[in-house]
Structure 1
Amino acid sequence: MKIFPAIDIKDKKCVRLVKGDFDNKTEYEMSPVDQAGKFKDHGFKNLHIVDLDGALNGETVNLDIIQDIVGKYNLKVEVGGGIRSIDSIQKYIDVGVEKVILGSAAIKDKNFLKESCEKFQDHIALGLDAKDGYLSVSGWKENSNQLTLEFLKEVNDYGVSRLIYTDIDRDGMKQSPNFEETSKVAEMSKCPVIISGGVSSIDDIKKAKKLENVEGIIVGKAIYDGDIGLKELVKEDA
């Protein structure tokens, strides 16, 4: 089970949102680069970064910070947030990002997803953010009217190397992930799945380990609020 500590960047700071709501956010004192260093020092190998400014603007905003993190620490980094062009993907690959997460742009334009997977083999992750079984797009402000499992069925053969499934209603709530829906997605997916949204305890990690075709889990607010200790969490990282 790969553990992905999360860093969400907004206005050059580490923040956490509740259910993706930009008006309901907590800012943390430590800079994103220093926070990444802290995760590295504790022995984590993977990192999940979201450029929230990018998600709002639809372009790569915090590339310099992400480049700094990748350059300083030998971490396997996955990055999402407003990546809507081949050029943006290329920029991240060029600075050493391992996986580029496509969300809204991939859902709105399946051809973009297909082309990206063909051009950047093993580097494209698909972010499926769902609410009541339907996909949300544009920083979770818009419902796409597409059922998560139906969309996955359509793009399953495109060559995505990782799938990140988030239940929006659980995100930032620390009420445990939606294991039931995640299991359905993992069962159908032809690539490994990462669980995201709502992790509240080590028990959630242990439960995730029992699921088939689940590669890892993203932990955000529970770390920042001190509900899960980093020493305890890194023991689950393999």
Structure 2
Amino acid sequence: MKIFPAIDIKDKKCVRLVKGDFDNKTEYKMSPVKQAGKYKEHGFKNLHIVDLDGALTGETVNQDIIKDIIAKFDLRVEIGGGIRNLDNIQKYIDAGVDKVILGSAAIKDKNFLKEACEKFPNKIALGLDAKDGYLSVSGWKESSNQLTLDYLKEVNDYGVSRLIYTDINRDGMKQSPNFDETLKVAELSNCPVVISGGVSSIDDIKQAKNLKNIEGIIVGKAIYDGDIKLEELVKEDA
């Protein structure tokens, strides 16, 4: 199973939000580039990056930082946050990104998701961020009134190469992921699923390994707060 250490970028710093709340954030001293270097040094191969400025503005605000990380460290990067048109997807792919995560734009416009999957085969990941079974959009500030599983059924044949499922109520809370809901998504999904939100310990990682159709797991706040040691975590990375 792939381990995706996370870097969330806001105002050129590494931050972590609680339940996606921009008013409830922790800033960390390490720069995103140095943090990526630390992950590389420990032997991680994959990296999950969210451009939080992009999520708020709909622009690729921190593209230079992401380009820098890819150029320096040869990590397989998946990037999300405010990617709302084909040009921005192209920019990231040209920069060497492994997967581009579409969230709000794909939920609001299924045709955009379909077009992106057709134009960029094997490069599009779908980010489904859910709260109480319903998808949230626009930096989690609004509910889409769409049930996660209903939406997934509609887009399941579009050719998405990876699905990232986040339970917003667990994100940044370190209360373990919502394995029950993730399992429902993984059972339905035509592509492999990455678990996101709430990882609190190595036990969560080990539990995730036993689930079907799970490609990997994203770990963020538990790393920054020291609950999970990188030396311990990298041993679970396959």
TM-score by length of 1: 1.00
For 2:112, the aligned partner's letter is F
Moved over 6 A (4+): none
> Which residue of the partner structure matches residue 68 of structure 1?
68
Aligned residue runs from structure 1 range 187-206, under 5 A: 187-206=187-206
How far the C-alpha of 1:74 sits from its partner, in A, is 1.0
- Give the CA RMSD over aligned residues: 0.2
Following the alignment from structure 2 to structure 1, what is the Cα–Cα distance between the partners of residues 51 and 88? 12
Secondary structure of 1:204's counterpart equals helix
> Which residue of the partner structure matches residue 145 of structure 2?
145
Following the alignment from structure 2 to structure 1, what is the Cα–Cα distance between the partners of residues 237 and 123? 21
> Which residue of the partner structure matches residue 81 of structure 1?
81
Following the alignment from structure 1 to structure 2, what is the Cα–Cα distance between the partners of residues 221 and 156? 30
Following the alignment from structure 1 to structure 2, what is the Cα–Cα distance between the partners of residues 133 and 115? 26
* Alignment partner of 1:7 is 2:14: no
Following the alignment from structure 1 to structure 2, what is the Cα–Cα distance between the partners of residues 80 and 211? 25
> Which residue of the partner structure matches residue 173 of structure 1?
173
Aligned length: 238
* Alignment partner of 1:25 is 2:25: yes
Gaps of 5+ in 1: none
How far the C-alpha of 1:114 sits from its partner, in A, is 0.1
> Which residue of the partner structure matches residue 95 of structure 2?
95
Secondary structure of 1:128's counterpart equals strand
Following the alignment from structure 2 to structure 1, what is the Cα–Cα distance between the partners of residues 141 and 152? 21
Give a deviation string over 1:70-103, Cα, whole Å, max 9, x none: 0000100000000000000000000000000000
> Which residue of the partner structure matches residue 208 of structure 2?
208
Following the alignment from structure 1 to structure 2, what is the Cα–Cα distance between the partners of residues 15 and 143? 23
Give a deviation string over 1:130-187, Cα, whole Å, max 9, x none: 0000000000000000000000000000000000000000000000000000000000
Following the alignment from structure 1 to structure 2, what is the Cα–Cα distance between the partners of residues 87 and 60? 10
Give a deviation string over 1:115-138, Cα, whole Å, max 9, x none: 000000000000000000000000
Aligned residue runs from structure 1 range 122-137, under 5 A: 122-137=122-137
For 1:230, the aligned partner's letter is L
Gaps of 5+ in 2: none
Following the alignment from structure 2 to structure 1, what is the Cα–Cα distance between the partners of residues 191 and 55? 24
Secondary structure of 1:199's counterpart equals coil
Secondary structure of 1:61's counterpart equals coil
Following the alignment from structure 1 to structure 2, what is the Cα–Cα distance between the partners of residues 42 and 211? 26
For 1:198, the aligned partner's letter is G
Following the alignment from structure 1 to structure 2, what is the Cα–Cα distance between the partners of residues 142 and 191? 26
TM-score by length of 2: 1.00
Give a deviation string over 1:42-82, Cα, whole Å, max 9, x none: 00000000000000001110000000000000100000000
Secondary structure of 1:135's counterpart equals strand
How far the C-alpha of 1:16 sits from its partner, in A, is 0.3
